[in-house]
Structure 1
């Protein structure tokens, strides 16, 4: 490398080359295996589009996404934990009123999601932007079915008031397979792994003076909690989903989000 190369770039590239060479030596990589790997990466890039990011799926299913997340989101005790971002977030979801319905296709078992956004001392956080998204009752996100689902189906942004409370009506999420019709799906099949994610609701919460939180709440009792294809489950994020008798929704899920102050951000 040149003497004027950015030092961080030099560190990353030196480590990458060192470990790639060590890997090749350790497994005694054959010429045909190397060619297969190049072909695999080529196909992974070719299937990517504005709606599909196969490299994120590859990173997720190899556990790299969660490792990078853990390195960069070491939070103080009591703060809600991060988990994998996933490939299906869309910027620009509409801001909705508290308590509003986000399910636009009328399918699925209705669920009231509610709770508070608070700081480490339990004080409510005003002005927190809560960006939420989930799959539909058939296990697909709206961007996967643009000609079938309404735009912004099961998506919305909610802004907390002085009490820090949030509430919205969606559906009880269902478990679903990550897209497995491409190179990543073939890799999982060869490894004897299933492509399923346990049922979850996505949250991205941003508030002035606090760390951004990217997380899920998982449906307790889901059969894939211990074998999530992208290793995203954390015990603290498994939420109660309680059946409601005679209510306006069939289910209710209460979960408080605890944000850490921005100055507590710890990286690797």
Structure 2
């Protein structure tokens, strides 16, 4: 018979063990496997409900949204309607990619405020900036302006109970007078206001090393995009574990990175189709990486 006293003692011992083994505690938190819903961009607009049911059935517990607009919201659904479907399937929208192009360009807050409101309704933790339009990133001065705008957006997010993150592609690693745009963003943003979502595929494809970024900027990469690279054609993605990105080595340094959440993403080259591909990726991660 389990008495209340024994329960308290056993619980205390378990808690002490976890505290004594911080790496174990970190590993336990990594059981959630997320999906960037852009992977299913052809399926979602046709049938959000059925598609999200299949996402949950594939083994995912968290998602990252994309495609929000003030006019169409999420594929014709309001944030409240989307939240209901997510809840019904045991899915949590931890993060969302929101286009803040107008805010980054001239400081217009219309899109930013709408994105914050949507993210709050979804009970998200992060509002993530997915892209910088090309005319806004020509040189060092441009990147410094972007960094300043990210700080402003980060402050607005914090005031709303959210966190701001920035997601990279490969263009950020192009050098401008000897320094990359990404280095400027890391240096010029407030680490308490602006977090980074590291797209591992784009880092590797640009010729850079995620582990070097972790070592030089410990704790700054709170989220990852786990996206594999086709072994024959680097321009193509593939299912996680089938490509050339060394995820096993990268995941070993998750704590150094500061990673709290990660999202599978595959933009092309599905085998045999997107819904089957995400299942293969989820299975590989659960068996080999976490």
TM-score (normalised: structure 1):
0.25
Larger radius of gyration: 1
Q: Which structure is higher in strand share?
A: 1
Give the structure, 1 or 2, with the largest relative contact order (CA under 8 Å, sep 6 or more): 1
TM-score (normalised: structure 2):
0.23
